[in-house]
């Protein structure tokens, strides 16, 4: 079942340690087949070196396992809430990458300081609000997804392909699983650059809005002209 999607999810998961986005088992990638509504995701607690196509669980959008013998990631319910709320995304990654976690633990959104940021994110990278005691103690992973979705009430998730969950870490998404991993890697670089920018100049103002829009639109949307066609 979904062998092509499983291959994409496997390769995307294997990229996480290769790109220094995770240590141990601190991360997971999933992908969705929109026709069936089935999601392929990393199994819980399995080290990356032991992942195989056969080890990847398949779940439906209600979290029921429809194929596989291993328990899906403990973050599965968060992934499912994002797939339900953001119908145009095809892959999701959650990491505890070093720079992303630092901003998340500080409870700060990442300001838009330059064109490196603007090439991939059309605004600041948001940080979620505090979760309530009830949200944490009842359906924690489900509520994590809901808090992320709440943060995008007036934002386009395709223009801002990631978020920091306060005191937790980053979630990113994309057109497919590998695109989500690419966005996670970019966000980690942006988080590092923003920190050092503030060390050098304090909390400077955001990028010129015309420059922000120019750099984002060069790569995204119907008028994009970056790359080969």
Which residues belong to the active site? 119, 226
How many other C-beta atoms lie within 10 A of the C-beta of residue 224?
12
> Using CA of residue 176, residue 173, residue 99, residue 76, what is the dihedral sign?
negative
CA 32 to chain centre: 14
Q: How far is 5 from 40, CA to CA, in rounded Å?
A: 7
How many residues can be counted in the chain?
229
Q: How far is 185 from 22, CA to CA, in rounded Å?
A: 11
The token pair at 72 is 């899906």
Query: Residue 58 to residues 62, 65, 145: CA-CA distances in angstroms?
Result: 11, 6, 19
Q: Cβ distance 212 to 118 under 8 Å? A: yes
């Amino acid at each position: 079942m979904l062998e092509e999607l499983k291959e994409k999810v496997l390769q995307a998961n294997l990229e996480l340690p290769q790109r220094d986005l995770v240590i141990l088992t601190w991360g997971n990638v999933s992908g969705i087949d929109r026709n069936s509504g089935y999601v392929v995701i990393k199994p819980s607690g399995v080290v990356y070196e032991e992942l195989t196509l056969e080890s990847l669980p398949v779940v439906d959008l209600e979290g029921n396992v429809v194929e596989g013998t291993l328990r899906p990631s403990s973050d599965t319910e968060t992934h499912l809430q994002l797939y339900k709320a953001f119908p145009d995304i095809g892959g999701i990654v959650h990491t505890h990458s070093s720079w992303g976690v630092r901003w998340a633990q500080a409870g700060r959104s990442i300001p838009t300081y330059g064109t490196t940021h603007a090439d991939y994110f059309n605004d600041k990278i948001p940080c979620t609000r505090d979760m309530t005691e009830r949200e944490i103690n009842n359906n924690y992973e489900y509520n994590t997804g809901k808090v992320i979705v709440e943060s995008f009430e007036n934002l386009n998730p395709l223009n801002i392909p990631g978020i920091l969950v306060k005191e937790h870490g980053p979630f990113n998404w994309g057109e497919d699983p590998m695109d989500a991993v690419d966005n996670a890697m970019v966000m980690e670089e942006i988080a590092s650059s923003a920190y050092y920018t503030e060390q050098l100049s304090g909390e400077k103002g955001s990028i010129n809005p015309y420059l922000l829009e120019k750099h984002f639109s060069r790569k995204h949307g119907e008028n994009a002209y970056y790359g080969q066609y």
